[in-house]
Amino acid sequence: MRLLVALSGGVDSSVAAAELRRAGHEVEAVTMRLWGGPSDTGCCSVADVEDARRVAAQLGLEHHVFDFSERFDRTVVDPYVADHAAGRTPNPCVECNRHLKFDALLDRADVLGFDAVATGHHARIVQHGGRARVARGADRDKDQSYVLHPLHDAALRRVVFPVGDLTKSQVRDRARDLGLRTADKPDSQDVCFVTASEGRAAFLGARTPLHAAEVVDTEGRVVGRTDAVELVTVGQRRGLALAGGPDRRYVVDVDVAARRVVVGPPERLRRELVALEGVGWNGDVPSGTVHVQTSAHGPAEAAVVESADPGSDAAVLRWVTPRARVAPGQSVVVYDGDVVLGGGVARR
């Protein structure tokens, strides 16, 4: 096969490229230039691009750099800012995978005559119900199936995940055996376009107005203030400097328009249902009990699909055991065991 491997400058994509080359495929490497601003983590920094270039040279691969920065701004950064301004909790990694790695990059690979695109994601592709589907990777602690949930059958037939059957320690061992410069490079953390020195507040504050807000309890009594209601998320406990009381209090609602945050005891977060928008199913709407994950490495909890119109991007899930409310904007991913069936975004 003629494969285009997305080389991010990390150890996983480095080993993915090496494994494909070892298997005898015709491999070329590409690094996507996504974020034009400062970056000190993730796959967007100047150092990461240089690491990718050197790994490609070490493996004897032709190396390309594709500039997708305008599309990244439009489909990832701008919605990230808009979501915070509306009081939602976005997941930019999901949107980057949806719009860049497995849309723009796949389209470019098709134009250039490649058979498939490969990445270093810790996930697998399996046949399930007659369709290609994303499944959890062998290393559950590093599994990335959650952020890959928008990938459906047509795209998955043109994608390869060479390290999905390896644990992270096995990946690093193979990188060391090959003498790759990325073998002991730390994993990327957090949002790649928000620097540790700048922080989320400064990043957002430079792009959208941030507003102070009252923090009230469930009886409407003022118990504190926050400098930026746009930075508060449902379920948050720390960082609000609440006055008085030893009991644990969590954010149970965020109303940006009213400049108000409501806090209460954990039981006030309990919900039987979660309503979704932007839903995509890789196949038919599932019936019976499924398992649902609401964060990248959180537990998968039992639920049933209460309602879903195959012609609509909306759905309602009912938890088998009521659980804490999902923050609006957060990705909600539906599994059958280890296999992703689809997912959407929690709505208010």
Whether the domain at 2-120+162-178 and the domain at 270-346 fall into the same CATH topology: no
CA distances from 174 to 50, 166, 223 (A): 21, 10, 54
270-346 fold: Elongation Factor Tu (Ef-tu); domain 3 (2.40.30)
Residue 221: which residues within 8 A CB-CB, separation 6 or more? none
For the ranges 23-27, 66-70, 239-243, the lowest mean pLDDT is seen at 239-243
pLDDT of residue 288 exceeding 70, the answer is: yes
In this prediction, residue 110 carries a pLDDT of 96
Each residue's pLDDT tens digit, 311-346: 789 999 999 999 999 999 999 999 999 999 999 999
Point out the residues that are catalytic: 96, 192
pLDDT for 102 equals 96
| CA–CA dist 86, 34 (Å, integer) | 25
pLDDT in tens, 31-60: 999 987 766 555 556 678 899 999 999 999
Residue 303 token pair: 């639920």
Class of domain 2-120+162-178: alpha beta
pTM for this entry = 0.93
> What per-residue confidence (pLDDT) applies to 275?
97
Report whether pLDDT(84) > 70: yes
Confidence grade of residue 302 (pLDDT, cut at 50, 70, 90):
very high
- Give the HSE-up count for residue 339: Cα atoms under 13 Å, Cβ half-sphere: 17
- Can you give the residue ranges of every domain in the chain? 2-120+162-178, 210-264, 270-346
Tell me: pLDDT of 224 over 70.
Answer: yes
What pLDDT does residue 44 have?
57
Structure-model confidence comparison of residues 242 and 214, the more confident one: 214
Backbone angles phi, psi at 3, to 5 degrees: -120, 140
Identify the CA nearest to 74 among candidates 88, 92, 87.
92
pLDDT at 10: 93
Is 159:119 a contact under the CB 8 Å cutoff? yes
- CATH number for the region 210-264 comes to 2.30.30.280
